[in-house]
Structures are given as structure tokens and as C-alpha cells.
Amino acid sequence: MQYNWDGTDNGTNLPNGLYFYYISAVTNGESSEIVSGGSGGGGGSPPSPEFMSSGSSELWAVAPDSENIVPLAIYPPGFDTNDFTIFSASPSEVASLSAAARPESEFTTDSGGSFSPDYTGGGGSSASSQNASPAPQRPPNNPIRGTVGTIGIAADTYTGNGTNGLSCGPLDNGLGLGLDISVYTPQYPSGNTGATTNPPRPEHKIEASTFVNTMQYYGWKNPLSEIDSQLNINDLRGSGSPYNNVDMAVVMFHGTYGVGSAATDYAAESCKQMYYAVGTGGRGNYLRLSEMDLGGSSPTNGLKWMVIDACFSLFQGNWSSMQSHGVKPYNGNMHLILGATTETWTSALKWYNFAKYMNYGKHIYSPFTIRNAYYQANTDAFENAPLPDGTEITLAVAGDSACMGDTLQTNTPPGGSWEWVSQPIYP
Amino acid sequence: MRRMAKIGFVSLVAIVCATAGLAQSPPWKANGEPIPARPDLVVHWQSEAKFPRKVWVYNLLPNKFSPEVISNVMTLCSFTGKDKNEDDTNGISFQSSEPARTLSFSFTSGKIDYETPEIQYSPTNLAIGVPSTNELSGLVKNVLGKMHIPFSEITGWHGTHKIDFSEPVTVFSVGDTMVTNVPYRTVYFRRTVEGMPIIGHFYRFNVGEHGKVTKISIAWPNLERVKSYRTVSPKDVVNFIRSGNAIRGPVPTTIGDIDWPSVKSVTIKNATPSYQINGDKLYPFLRLDVLVEIGNGAVEIGMDCPVIDETKL
């Protein structure tokens, strides 16, 4: 069944967003709703409970002339899926299947990830155009009206020095006396003032493309993508950061935090804080969290939400130290910073989940708050994953108290009071 | 060429889907990334765990919770008979409006779910009387006893713990002062069957202000033995890894990617015979904690492999 939509609600213009059609048919004189959906542009009705799937399995599709497995749910109601291969499986089964079917070398290329939807409604972008797989035929009218917003992404794979990774630091403590800050490393949990090795993270490319492609499916534009050498560390420093000109930004780095007797950072009001390794050719440099000034002044395209996907990116003790020393890596326009207070773990699935849950929800059209989407995306991604005994993953969100309930569809202006919240998501 | 690739790929899809029920494609294979065969791989066995001689495949059966359990949990969650809103052969549920709380027992899946609304705290409105972990330890047996969950059939996550705890924390910035709030603490554990943990399913309940239970998420279906299988030996496990009959889990982002062909060695630190829920069955497999030498360091990851001879299924 196909339906030509003119982009309006019975002639009334709608805000930009992804919309799901309600199509009803009359059978034997009785009205029977056969397809349900909601509206991504705000104000839409939730779908009927019949649409809810049970258990962890969901339907997946492989389009003709494509090798990509994508959730069937990404295809709009009415989309012709007659020639598709459709099957039921859990996300982890599909992840395993995709990994098995994907050439090993594909992990280190720029091609789209296994969970990258072929159907991208948000227009071209750098990451999307890198996907070499042919897209299925689109429905007669794109169900996305305009664009929802913009995302920026920065990631480092630390491959500028081959398999050796990038050396980073030591980091002067700000006194200019040749004294360096001691930071956490897995080898020196109580602190190390020497240079640290940041191993290659080629997975960051597939994680980034998974997030970008899924967001694009839901209508988001991606005007800013900086991977490896495209990223200048100064792009993340200060109020002039180009990342302050997108609605949501995601950065993927190695992260650490100051620990031990030499952890005081005199370059930042003598606080203890977090550091992220950013590569420049065959070397890495530390970006101080205090060097950021997150938050965009534009009410329509300014930065509101930032994900710092790095280990210990929002380590509790050091976040509190920054706050108590008046060191704030954000301005009055910022809503939320999402990160972790423990190590984080690799998963393309968590990025697919995160984008889907924020834009659509899990089983039915019921978008999560950004914060809960972040938590649930990670919980679901690691539910069955073999993690070593005793592993704990605790995420953290720091943000304006008024914005903790922000969704992509509706957000509240910052009120000026910040809080930091942790949430154990594994086990 | 593309069409050929598609046919091959779809065939793979078909194979996986057709066998997802139980036998030919064991469920543990969906838990991570397959490892390639490495007949020359150096594998050290350091696990002291002893395998049972045989393990069982189980059917998961409905659990029609006894009236005593239902009554206990109703009392625990402050419900009365007036709050009942559904009661049929599939289960029973209760609901209160102020605040909106729900309690449900699913007989078909053996689940108990209790939900309460999230409380909004502030620097001037902090949670009061949330039990410490020490205080919770004393509560746990009481709460589990009300649900007729034997303490002998649970295990925690850290070492030999029977239960573990976690807590969300909020830190409010009030000028230069940090105000910390813990809205509740979570008690979590796994079910064991014949001493083997069911992986992927942590059951939990939250305890909030004044020791009140604020959430329960537990599934305790009845079990029925289907068939027993002899377990493999450590030597077999080493061979599984060398032959690529295993999967590996993710790596922490502090560590680089694992290029399996260049792995120097694998040390099995712990091998835990485990169960995985697969449809309406419990399927046995082996979960491994391994240390992988990757040349420029070592990384501890999880792996899964058979614990029985799966060629005889």
C-alpha cells in the first residue's frame, strides 16, 4: 500500500520532523486500524498497543540488492517490502550475523555500519555518502518534512601511528615548572605522570557511521563530521567551537582523569578534571574538559546536547572538583552533557539504539528522553554480551536541572542550576 | 557478483533464523563476535572451576505464584485487594492511582514487576532513610523469602557474592558546594540452576526512602528437565577456541581493537558453566573470563563457547 503525502496535516503546515501515517481501512462495515504510528514533529498520537512487539526479538529486513540488515521498523508504513527478506531476531543475533558476514577489513574502512539504515531521509552528508551499499527504492513521498535538526560528530581512531597507537602527554600541570599531571591508566590506576599510550580504536568509525546514518534516517542533518586528521583539537576549545553550531554533538575519544597526589590542574583553577586524547598525525594531545565552552546561542541550531563517549568522561569526583572550583565547561545555553563515570565499552548497537530510542522509542512510537535513551541504549546493547565477571558500566549525565527531561522533540530552556546524575547500566 | 553475494548472505540469514530455535545454532553464538580459527594459538588454562559431569537442557514453564507469595508481595508493595485490576489465568495485576503504582504477576512467564513513579529530588528535598548497603544485606533474605526465592539459588556478580548492590547518585551544584543525593539502592542477583548462573538476566529490586521497596523486576519460571548432556573437558575448551568455535565480547574503550590473527596468547582465568534463556528453554554453555595478550598489552574480555558436545544435539 502506498500513500502520497503532501507534507501537511490536511493542508496545515507542520513543524519539521519524521511523521508516521495512520492508515485505516473499512472491512465488513467495521473500521479496523491496520497501521499505526506516531508523529516525530510533536503532537502526534501514540500508536495502538497492537503494534508493540514482545520479547527482545524484532523484525529485520534485507532489501533487494543489499547486504545490510536493517530493522523493518525503519521503513515507513506502506513501504513496499514485498521483495525484502524479512526475519525475526534479537539485535544481538543480528549483530553477530552482521559481524560474521562482514569482511574483516570493513571494520577499518569508512563504509557504513551493519546497522546503518539504507533509507536516509535527511539529505546527503559526508557519512551517508560513504555508504556504498545501494539504497532500496524510496516511497513515493518522503515522510520527513524538512529536517529535524543537526548533529556533529568527532572521532579519533588513533591509527596515525599504525598499530602502536598514539602517545599522549605528559601534561604540564599549569605551573610551568616541569611538573606533570598524574592521570589514570589501566596499568597505573593510582596515577601516572608519564606519557600514556592510546591504542588504536578503528571501531570508532563504524560506531560514528551507525549513529549518523540512523539519525539521518530520522531526518537529522550532519553538517559536521571530523574523523582523525579532519579534527583539529582547537575545534573543541572555547566558545568558537563549530560544535556549538549543531543541536547535538557526539565525540569519541580515549579518556582519563587526574588522580593521585599530582592530579591538581593549576591551569584550571587548581581543580581535578578529565582529559581526552586527540590525535595529530602520529602523536596525541590532551584536550582538557575545562577548555570546552559547550553551548550554542542559536535557539534553533545551537548546541544543546553533547555526548562525550570516552572512558571516565564525567568521572564523579573530578566533575565535583571542577564544579566546586567554578570550572564550568559549558555556558548558559547548554542543556546536557552525556558521558560515563566508569570505563565504556565498544558497541555499534548502542549507537543505533540511542538514535532510535530518542527519535522513535523502543517498541512503539514513544520517544524516550535523551537521558533515558542513552541509558536504555547501552543497557540493551550489553544485556547478553560476554563481559568479564565483575564488570560495571555506570553512565553519567551532567546538565541543567530544567533540561533533564529534554527530548529531541521538546526541550526546556536552561534555568542555570546544574546537576550530575549517574546511572548503573550494567549489570 | 553482487547478486551472488546477496544469495550467500541471505542463505546465511536463513540458516541462522531457521536454527534459532535450539539445536544447530546455539544461542550463545549471538552474544558476540565470532573468532577466527587459530590452530597455533597459545591458550593457557588457569581456571580452577570444576565442571559438573553433566548438564541439562530445561524447559521454562509457567509459574502460578502461590496465594501466599502474591499476598506477601502485595503487602510488601502496599496493595490491597481493592487495587486489583486484572485477574485471569495468565496473571494478576494491581494498580493504585496516587501515586500511580503497578504490580503484576505473569503466570505464563513467571515474572513479578512492580513500578513506582520516579521522585523528583532537589538540593532542598533529598531522599531520606534510604538503607545503606549494610542495612540492605539484612533486608534481602526477608524480601526474597516473601517471594519464595531460595537464597541457595541465586548468585551475585562480583566474585563469590550472593547479591550485589548499585545506586544512582545525583550531585547538585549549589554554588561551590556539592549536595549528594541517593534516591534508592538496587539489590541485584542472578538465578542459578544446579549452581550454574543464567546469564543476561539480572533480577533486581530497588529500596528507596524509609526502606520502602520501589521497584521489583524478577522472573522465576518453573523448570522441567528435558535432557542431560555430558560436559566437555578443559582440553576440549582449548580446542574450541583454537578451532574458532567461540565468540568474544566487546573490549573496553581504554584498549585498542583485538586483531585476533595477531593475538599472542589467551589465558583462561575463569570458566563458568552457565545457562542462557533461548525461547522457552534454558541452554547450557560456557562463559569464559580470558586475558588476551595483544602485543602491546593485555585485555580482559569475556568469551562464550560450548560446554557440551553440540555436534550431538
Q: Is residue A86 part of a domain?
A: no
- Spatial neighbors of A28 by CB under 8 A, at least 6 apart, are none
pLDDT at A143: 55
**Low-confidence residues in chain A, pLDDT < 50:** 31-56, 76-78, 96, 98-142
- Chain A residues whose CB is inside 8 A of the B302 CB are 385-388
Compute CA B85 distance to the chain's CA centroid, rounded to the nearest angstrom. 30
Q: Is residue A368 part of a domain?
A: yes
Short-list A401, A371, A361, CA closest to A36? A361
| CATH number of the structural domain spanning residue A163 | 3.40.50
The percent of residues above 90 in pLDDT, for chain B, comes to 79
To 5 degrees, how large is the angle CA B203–CA A395–CA A354? 90
C-alpha cell at B60: 521454562
The CA distance from B302 to B241, in Å, is 12
- Spatial neighbors of B48 by CB under 8 A, at least 6 apart, are none
pLDDT at B22: 45
Side-chain-side CA neighbours of B174 within 13 Å: the count stands at 11
Mean pLDDT of B35-53: 93
* Domain segments of chain B as ranges: 21-58+226-312, 60-222
pLDDT at A187: 83
Strand partners of residue B196:
B193
Q: Reply yes or no on whether the pLDDT at B286 is more than 50.
A: yes
Q: Is residue A394 part of a domain?
A: yes
Q: Is residue A2 part of a domain?
A: no
pLDDT at B313: 78
pLDDT at B5: 36
- Chain A residues whose CB is inside 8 A of the B188 CB are 427
How many residues in chain A?
Answer: 427
Strand partners of residue B155:
B190
Short-list B301, B304, B278, B306, CA closest to B290? B301
B183 pLDDT band, cuts 50/70/90, is: very high
Beta carbons within 10 angstroms of residue A39's beta carbon:
20
Phi, psi of A402 (to 5 degrees): -75, -15
State how far residue B57 is from chain A, nearest Cα, in angstroms. 19
Q: How many domains does chain A have?
A: 1
ipTM reported for the complex, 2 dp: 0.83
The CA distance from A196 to B186, in Å, is 36
Domain that holds residue A264: 150-426
Strand partners of residue A225:
A153
Three-state helix/strand/coil letters over A9-50? ECCEECCCEEECCCEEEEECCEEEEEECCCECCCCCCCCCHH
Strand partners of residue B174:
B177
Q: Reply yes or no on whether the pLDDT at B1 is more than 60.
A: no
Q: Is residue A302 part of a domain?
A: yes
pLDDT at B11: 38
* Cβ atoms of residues A112 and A213 within 8 Å: yes
State how far residue B98 is from chain A, nearest Cα, in angstroms. 22
- Chain B residues whose CB is inside 8 A of the A383 CB are 200
DSSP A151: E
* Cβ atoms of residues A339 and A369 within 8 Å: no
pTM of this prediction? 0.78
Range name among A15-29, A130-144, B119-133, B294-308 with the lowest pLDDT average: A130-144
Query: Is A67 close to B176, i.e. CB distance below 8 A?
Result: no
* Cβ atoms of residues B268 and B43 within 8 Å: yes
What residue of A is the nearest CA neighbor of B254? Answer: A254
Q: Is residue A251 part of a domain?
A: yes
Strand pairing report for B281-293 and B265-278: antiparallel
Query: Is B178 close to A323, i.e. CB distance below 8 A?
Result: yes
* Cβ atoms of residues A303 and A295 within 8 Å: yes
The CA distance from B82 to B94, in Å, is 9
